[in-house]
Amino acid sequence: MKPGSKYYPLYQRLSQIEDTTVTFTFDELEACLDGKLPNMACRNSTWWANRSRGGHQAKAWINAGYHTDKVDLAQRRVTFKKFQAEYKIQRVDGEIKWDQGAIRALRLHMSLSQAQFAEAIGVRRQTISEWENGVYSPDRSTMKHLGLVAEKAAFNPADFYRPGVSSAEFPQSK
């Protein structure tokens, strides 16, 4: 999102909000943008679609970490919700099964980019991408190494991992 673009003020506003859900009236959005919303935004809910290509307005909320949750054209308001990625962590004999979700969850827990994570564990960035996209899985020795890295990083989720939420706050499955 480029400073100076029409929807940059909305991006800035959403970036400063810590709530997971936020609702704005169209009037509040127009005040934020210092101008009127396009007629299409007031008549057609597809204008509010969460698309990263083509919709300059959508880039404002997507880049701020939100997606549109509800659009009420009659009441002239829109609700944005923060993205909440969630990874199912599987275990085999008490050990984390290092599948694509577990690997991504560990990397996010450590707040590392794919390149930084690759450097930390001694593989190429492309390897991390391939693991996280399920192209292939790490070999047995690398899985052991990932277990050691996880232990050192205090990564020990129960059944699910949600970035930014501690295991104690996350509802456990029964």
Which spans in the chain are helix H?
8-15, 26-33, 39-43, 56-63, 100-109, 114-121, 125-132, 140-152
- 171 pLDDT exceeds 50? no
Give pLDDT tens digits for 150-161: 999 998 887 666
| 76 dihedral zone (left: phi>0; alpha: psi -120 to 50; beta) | left
Residue 164 confidence (pLDDT) above 60:
no
What residue segments make up the domains of the chain, in order of their start? 8-82, 87-161
Residue 134 is predicted with a pLDDT of 87
**Cα 149 to Cα 20, 54, 110, distances in angstroms:** 30, 40, 10
- Confidence (pLDDT) at 170: 37
pLDDT computed for residue 70 by the predictor: 94
The CATH class that applies to domain 87-161 reads mainly alpha
Of 55 and 20, more confident: 20
Beta strand pairing status for 77-82 and 66-72? antiparallel
User: 110 near 152, Cβ under 8 Å?
Assistant: no
Evaluate if residue 172 carries a pLDDT over 60: no
